[in-house]
Structure 1
Amino acid sequence: MRISTTQLWVHDQDEALAFWTDKVGMEVREDVTMPEMGNFRWLTIGPPGQDDIAVVLMAIPGPPMMDEATTQQLADLMGKGWAGTMFLTTDDVRAAHARLSAAGVEFTETPEERPYGIDAGFRDPSGNSIRLTQLIAAPVG
């Protein structure tokens, strides 16, 4: 088995798409609206050069799929950064931090040395927590 698709909940798919493509540098994998499903929009992005993985930018559904109370709970968790986390790796986290910051990504944590590598954090417009990490080789043995 392999992971092919995962998802992040988003408040606004257009805003999320602009953030992930224009600021972070992801590319669109699929953007399909299905009128027969109440105009449900299947929107996926992924990192260039990694065609075997996609991230669904999933709008929070309302009734009948999700009741209003659950919709609000999910929106509240997203605002706190607890509804989704994505871990991104790079060969140079400081250079990626500089590039993303220049593109308008606001970091919640700047690059810092950790036992596993160099790590930084930011949130997307929906509040999802994103970790950006430059991993170091783990000792063998």
Structure 2
Amino acid sequence: MEKWTAEGVAGRFEEAARTLRRLPRVKARGYFNAWPPIIRTVQELLDAEPMPHRLGPPGAAAISRMEEALGWMFLLDSEEERRLVWLRAERVRWRKICERIGCGRTRAWQMWGAALLKIATRLNESCGGRK
């Protein structure tokens, strides 16, 4: 039986953020376009900016792990800790995080580490450390 560590929890949150980005976009139903499609010339197609490549939708196991990790957010006591953990999982730069939560980089890093350790400790207490 392996125990959860702060690094393992951080990795799972990063995977959850990547999985969430790969989910299909939500579209409002009931709206449609009655205009005919635009037919472009070959030169217009060549001059157009390339479409960004997207990976396919995530698998069922990845979605289950994402849902499990999102549930771990409720193991944290404050909204500030939750926001900090999620911003870091989305790989937001420390400077932007510090501006958003209003503290220095060292303090933000310490809070992030303490929040991850708190989650790992509570997971180990509740499930006996099974990953």
The TM-score range, normalised by the shorter chain, is under 0.3
TM-score w.r.t. length of structure 1: 0.25
Structure with more relative contact order (C-alpha pairs < 8 Å, separation 6 or more): 2
Q: Which has the larger radius of gyration?
A: 2
Q: Which has the higher helix share?
A: 2
Q: Which has the higher strand share?
A: 1
